[in-house]
Structure 1
Amino acid sequence: MSAIKVRFAPSPTGNLHVGNLRTALVNYLFARKFDGHFMLRIDDTDEERSTVAFEESIRADLSWMGMTWDSEDRQSNRLARYDEALADLVAKGRAYACYETPEELSLKRKAQLGAGRPPVYDRAGLKLTDEAKAKLEADGRKPHWRFLLNDSQVSWHDKVRGDVAYHMSSLSDPVLMREDGRVIYTLASVVDDIDHGITHILRGEDHVTNSTAQIQLFEALDATPPSMGHMALLAGADGEGLSKRIGSLSIGELRANGLEPEAIASLLARIGTADPVVPHNDLAVIIDGFDISRFGRATAKFDPAELDAVNARIVQELDFDVVVGKLDALGVGGGADFWKTVRGNIRIVSEAADWWQICTAPITPIMDAPDVTTAAASLLPDGDLSAEIWSDWTKSIAAKTGVKGKGLFMPLRLALTGQDKGPEIAPLLAFMGRDRVIARLQGDSA
């Protein structure tokens, strides 16, 4: 395969959410899989909605995910280039001026729909004489510019959808430049992809119609269209679109909720494919297993509960040296021994702090069976506590009380932790300390 170059082109008009992060991730994994080039392009031509804060947030999210980019550019630096490309298209007869107002265009569409016809632009701008244009401009009208589509079929082999073909007669000539001189995505994106040498465009299936027109635009600008792949859009676990709920699925919020970036990558790299989701805590392994051809056309379902489960499996396998910085920041002591004791029972790293508090700060014991806990306090072996005392200690409690199994172990757990489930009690004893264990078994907060 020849040198690959892909791009992720977010608009800094909002925070990254799971939908557009998935697009970024697919491009990143595809590039890294084939030793290609991953570019970050900031599509910031919407001056009213674009902000520095959103751009910084996007960069922070990508960096947190480990998705480093090899180069970058921004559309606001390239406005003169878009004007140049438009002039080229006008000279070739492939772009033309139109003078309808948005209200007039809306009335045209309503009339067409009312007559049972598709709302395709009627190319009235092509029929204007120079005199008519001059009069409109003298009256204060400014033109917007449209791309003249060829009346032909456009086809390509899509890396996700297979063979795709659309006839252009069903599409309106797309607007390239607004009347106020602001460039439209259709033109800007194609010019950028040409100038940056993009070889593959991988994005959501909502861009299929855009791609159809843009293929002709690439050709009109004397460029070969890149290879394309259009992925099914994400939906919720119930099959409904995520658009209404996307605000609660921002990457910043997932990070704040303790999700690991590798969990997000493990899930987003596989949902929508025929392959099972396998948790990996190494992005290199996710890259190695990535295959764009495995994506199908069926709606890809994103389930936050599945993400939580993937995250838990990753956290439960993390080595101490990977999390020691986080644990220190959380005030969790106990070193590697404590982490190994609790990691199997937590979903996110920060939950280790909850168990550290349970072991080292006062709690309210739950006294479910006082006869058991009173016996346990009296039979606690002398000296330092460790996991090794557990077997003989509980046998002696059972012998004295006649209580075994859950009837023995649950009262001990409730008294010592105030919780009905969690890590094994035996290794927690050393972190609680003798005085605290006895006090809790006697029903005292300690």
Structure 2
Amino acid sequence: MTVTRFAPSPTGYIHVGNLRTALMNFLIARKAGGTFILRLDDTDQERSKQEYADGILEDLEWLGLTWDRIEKQSARLDRYAEAADELRRAGRLYEVFETPTELDLKRKKQLNMGKPPVYDRAGLGLSDEEKAKLVEEGRAGYWRFLLEHERIEWPDGILGDISIDAASVSDPVLIRADGQVLYTFASSVDDTDMGVTHIVRGADHVTNTATQIQIIRALGGTPPTFAHHSLLTGPQGEALSKRLGTLSLRDLRARGVQPMALLSLMARLGSSQPVELFSSMDELIAGFDISTFGAAPTKFDAEDLFPLTRAYVQALPFTAVQERIAALGVPDELAETFWRVASHNITVLDDLGDWWTLFRDGAEPDVAEEDRAFVAEALALLPPQPYGPETWGEWTAAVKEKTGRKGKGLFMPLRKALTGQAFGPEMADVMPLLQKIRAKG
């Protein structure tokens, strides 16, 4: 069975970069009829917050990315301790004591000598007496995984065949001096125990993948199938890292972006398939193909979400927005007509409020000086309310006959006098919705 996972850290809200990872893993699981696990990487107790954990669940539910089970790494600390003991017994986990300053000096020395800045495994040569002395001096030990110096290879689902020389990578730190289990280790243990078969994540994890393949094998597991998607950039190719705070899913939701618009864009962005608006999750799942994605950095522009949102919103049936329209105070007898008229002139659903305010309270007239006399004459011919769908045609015909104006010179000044806008819905549709006309004084 196909098993995938999304493993966010509850140290902040989900942003578009996280979503790309979550969505790809979700779609792979659903297309195969498999299992999608939501796993909270919350071993960093200082930075992990319940509000962020709640926010992650809320954002995924808003998008319809339902999980089959949820796991918390903070509940698995005993299992990590057990796995660490297994690796120690196998000689694959060793204690080291270098400070960050000492490691930095070592790296600089290696670089000056033209060597790669890889940890020199000095900790491996420490005797028990030397370790005890370092502890006595106030040093805190932490733990590194002993990599086997071989080529680590895997067929990547996006990048193609990958081969990394383990000798070019430092033995990764798996457990900090304060006992905190780091991502590389906890994730490897979880992926092994939970039978994860497929992992999609960002290209910045390629080196992690190489080391995790060895860790999983050392734990007696079978490494999953890996795929590394490209990283997102801004529309001009600039790094998104500094802007991700404004690209959280909750910020996009607050701006009126529709879930299916966001999912439709992210399911195709960076692939050879064209972006198209999907109408359902089933369509999205059926149309997903991980092999169509490329390795090049992928440009993301939040503004691309709004044409998709507009198309989605404008296709909604009245029943989908009935409660929202009622909440605006639109009378029941006008509600469906209001939606039919306003829906073709909005991008996000929040725009409905502006249209109802215009219809209910009337608009500030926009009348050019040279049209003032004409508009006044025309308004004198406007029949009393209520108006029907025939009112606009009958009124403008009467105005044309009385003033001799026709075409744009007739219709545009009257539209702007009644709505304050040069463009918008057909005026024959607008007239029955107008509750007040401010141009009449």
Interval containing the TM-score (normalised by the shorter chain): over 0.9
1:59-87 Cα offsets, whole Å, 9 max, x none, are 11111111111101101111111111111
Please give the per-residue CA displacement for 1:270-318, whole angstroms capped at 9, x wherever unaligned. 1111111112342222122111111111211111111112111111111
1:152 positional shift:
0.8
Asked whether 1:60 is paired with 2:58, we answer yes
1:411 match: secondary structure? helix
What residue in structure 2 maps to residue 175 of structure 1?
A: 173
8 Å Cα contact 1:332-1:352 kept in structure 2: no
Asked if 1:277 corresponds to 2:271, the answer is: no
Where 1:78 maps in the other structure, the secondary structure is helix
Residues 399-438 of structure 1: per-residue CA shift (max 9 Å, x gap)? 33332222222212211111222222221111114xx34x
1:144 shift after superposition: 0.9
Q: TM (normalized to structure 1)?
A: 0.94
Q: Match of 2:375?
A: 373
Q: Which residue of 2 aligns with 1:218?
A: 216
Give distance in 2, aligned partners of 1:116 and 1:404: 83
Is contact 1:330–1:350 with CA below 8 Å preserved after alignment?
no
Map of 1:346 onto structure 2 = 346
Contact 2:97 2:142 in 1 (8 A): yes
In structure 2, what is the equivalent of residue 90 of structure 1?
Answer: 88
On the 8 A contact 1:202/1:229 being kept in 2, the answer is: yes
Q: Could you say which residue in structure 2 is the equivalent of 1:408?
A: 410
C-alpha deviation, 1:356, in angstroms: 0.5
Aligned to 2:261: 263
Cα gap change, 1:250 to 1:399, in 2 (>3 Å):
same
Structure 2 counterpart of 1:17: 15
In the alignment, the residues of structure 2 paired with residue 77 and residue 186 of structure 1 have an alpha-carbon distance, to the nearest angstrom, of 17
User: What's the secondary structure of 1:160's corresponding residue?
Assistant: coil
Q: 2:428 aligns with which of 419, 426, 429?
A: 426
**Contact (CA 8 Å) 2:147, 2:171: kept in 1 or not?**
yes
Query: Match of 2:304?
Result: 306
**Which among 30, 45, 48 is matched to residue 46 of structure 2?**
48
* 2:201 equivalent in structure 1: 203
- Cα distance in 2 for partners of 1:261, 1:148 equals 44
Residue 81 of structure 1: which of 74, 79, 82 is its match?
79
**Which residue number corresponds to residue 361 of structure 2?**
361
Q: Which moved more, 1:383-392 or 1:270-279?
A: 383-392
User: 1 CA distance for matches of 2:330 and 2:226?
Assistant: 49
Question: Match for residue 187 of structure 1?
Answer: 185
Distance in 1 (alpha carbons) for counterparts of 2:208 and 2:34:
25
Distance in 2, matches of 1:24 and 1:196, equals 17
Displacement over 6 Å in runs of 4+: none
Partner of 2:321: 323
SS in 1 for 2:98: coil
Structure 2 gap ranges (5+): none
Give how far 1:164 is off.
Answer: 1.2
Cα 1:34–1:376, aligned 2, differ >3 Å: closer, same or farther?
A: farther
Between the aligned partners of 2:218 and 2:226, the Cα distance in structure 1 is 18
Q: What's 2:397 paired with?
A: 395
1:383 deviates by: 6.8
- Which deviates more from structure 2 when the two are superposed, residues 204-213 or residues 89-98? 89-98
Asked if the contact 2:235/2:300 (under 8 Å) is kept, the reply is yes
Letter in 2 for 1:354: D
Any conservation in 2 of the 1:398–1:408 contact (CA below 8 Å)?
A: yes
- Contact kept, 8 Å, 1:327 with 1:350, in 2: the verdict is no
1:372, 1:397 within 8 Å by CA — same for their partners in 2?
no
| Identity between Structure 1 and Structure 2 (%) | 49
Q: Which residue of structure 1 aligns with residue 248 of structure 2?
A: 250
Specify whether residues 383 and 104 from structure 1 end up closer, same or farther in structure 2 by C-alpha distance, changes over 3 A only: closer
Instruction: Check whether the contact 1:145–1:176 (CA below 8 A) recurs between aligned residues.
Output: yes
Question: Which residue of the partner structure matches residue 39 of structure 1?
Answer: 37
Secondary structure of residue in 1 paired with 2:390: helix
- Tell me if the contact between 1:413 and 1:425 (Cα under 8 Å) persists in the aligned partners: yes
CA offset at residue 115 of structure 1? 2.7
Is the 2:362–2:434 contact (alpha carbons within 8 Å) kept by the matching residues of 1?
Answer: no
Q: Take 1:178 and 1:429, find their aligned partners in 2: how far apart are those partners? A: 70
Q: Distance in 2 between matches of 1:296 and 1:199?
A: 21
**In 1: Cα distance, 2:415 partner to 2:207 partner:** 61
Q: In 1, distance between residues paired with 2:253 and 2:218?
A: 44
Amino acid at match of 1:357: T
Distance in 2, Cα, partners of 1:272 & 1:344? 30
Question: CA–CA distance in 2 between the matches of 1:190 and 1:26?
Answer: 20
- Sort the Cα spacing of 1:166 and 1:349 in 2 relative to 1 into closer, same or farther, 3 A: same
In 2: Cα distance, 1:281 partner to 1:326 partner? 21
Q: Output the amino acid matched with 1:347.
A: T
Matched residue SS, 1:121: coil
Query: C-alpha separation between the residues in 1 aligned to 2:243 and 2:284?
Result: 27
Residue 262 of structure 2 aligns with an amino acid whose one-letter code is I
> For 1:15-62, what per-residue CA distance to the aligned partner results, in whole angstroms no more than 9, with x for missing partners?
111110121111112211221111110110111111111111111111
Shift of 1:381: 5.0
- Aligned equivalents of 2:112 and 2:318: distance in 1? 67
SS of the residue corresponding to residue 59 of structure 2 reads helix
The 5 A counterparts of 1:92-131 are 92-131=90-129
Provide the alpha-carbon RMSD of the alignment: 1.7
Whether contact under 8 Å (1:331, 1:353) holds in the other structure is no
**What is the distance in 2 between the residues matched to 1:321 and 1:383?**
28
